Amino acid sequence: MAPTHPVHRHVLGGFATAAQRDAAMARLGAQGFPPASSYGPTEPDAGMGAGMGSGSRLPVVMLLGGMVGALGAFGLQSYATVAAYPLDIGGRPHFFWPAYIPFALEAGFMGAMLSGFASYLVAARLLRLYDPVDENPSFRRAMIDHWFVAVAAPDDAAGARIADLLGAEGASSIEEYAADAQQAGMREERRE
């Protein structure tokens, strides 16, 4: 039976310098193509891919995780000492909020840390055990001396336009590969 999901292909362009890669990323963003993934032997520059999307949402997620942790701990202590198990200890009121602050603060730190860690794993796609880009023979140079840009192409016409754009930006190699493991055997390779 034929697959019901659309066939997604990616175009992988290899560049000799990081400046060529940055120029290609900026031009892809200006042309309205989907966000591209960048691979290289060095840490990416701060301005790389300026047109390819907004900044990170990680600080907002960590803030929300910290607030949920702190408010949850504060609410849990309030419920425990006021409603669930009220005790008269030393004449203090049942809702003695200064005693709740240290644990609520620590729970807030823990909530921020756990939500930041989990969202980083999701954002960096580290939960995936396999990525078809790893199967490309020329991609092994990404760890040594080459910079690569991988762009999703929804159809063959878009793939050809992306390949032409990467070639115009000075790509030393351009490859097309399937986006899932079932189509990995259908890879085409073009070198200039």
* 179 confidence band (pLDDT: 50, 70, 90): low
Query: Which fold would CATH assign to domain 9-44+132-191?
Result: Alpha-Beta Plaits (3.30.70)
What ranges do the domains of the chain cover? 9-44+132-191, 58-123
pLDDT at 188: 43
DSSP 106: H
Locate the DSSP E strands across the chain. Answer: 9-15, 37-39, 147-153, 173-178, 188-191
For the whole prediction, is pTM greater than 0.85?
no
Question: Tell me, what's the pLDDT at 113?
Answer: 97
pLDDT tens per residue, range 51-79: 445 578 899 999 999 999 999 999 999 99
42: left (phi over 0), alpha (psi -120 to 50) or beta: beta
Q: Which residue has the higher pLDDT, 127 or 27?
A: 27
Angle at 50 between CA 177 and CA 119, to 5 degrees: 70
